[in-house]
């Protein structure tokens, strides 16, 4: 499972998805983070450049290029929620603090 979450530069959970500056990507297997990378995406800077469609396209490109299978997030706008639903990418709840711990907690939650 490859999971993405908005993070701060030091790997803490960040609030908003579409205005994130960094995204942490974890490859998880059997409840363990095998790889962890923080990508500087700059969506906070590009959010208001162009249309929402072009902004969403940047995010979709990132998700596709990194093979993201789930997103752990505290907040996401309704348009982006719709995009992720169409892509079949579940949104799981984030928790404050260490982003890797937040991801592990989110994927451990039983799905309805």
37-96 tens-digit pLDDT:
999 998 876 666 766 667 788 999 999 999 999 999 998 889 889 999 999 999 999 999
Q: How many domains does the chain have?
A: 1
**Which residues make Cβ contacts (< 8 Å) with residue 80, sequence separation at least 6?**
17, 18, 56, 59
CATH number at residue 39: 3.30.420.130
Q: Write the DSSP symbol of residue 66.
A: T
In a domain, 69, yes or no: yes
41 within some domain? yes
pLDDT, tens only, 3-15: 999 999 888 999 8
Domain of residue 14: give its range: 2-107
Q: Considering the entire predicted model, what is its pTM?
A: 0.89
Question: Is the separation of the CB atoms in 96 and 75 below 8 Å?
Answer: no
């Amino acid at each position: 499972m490859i999971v993405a979450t908005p993070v701060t530069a030091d790997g803490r959970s960040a609030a908003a998805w579409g205005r994130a500056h960094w995204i942490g990507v974890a490859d998880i297997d059997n409840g363990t983070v095998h790889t962890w990378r923080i990508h500087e995406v700059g969506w906070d800077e590009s959010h208001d450049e162009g249309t929402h469609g072009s902004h969403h396209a940047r995010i979709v490109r990132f998700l596709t290029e990194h093979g993201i299978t789930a997103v752990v997030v505290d907040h996401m706008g309704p348009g982006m929620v719709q995009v992720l639903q169409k892509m079949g990418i579940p949104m799981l709840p984030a928790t404050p603090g260490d982003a890797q711990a937040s991801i592990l907690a989110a994927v451990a939650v039983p799905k309805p």
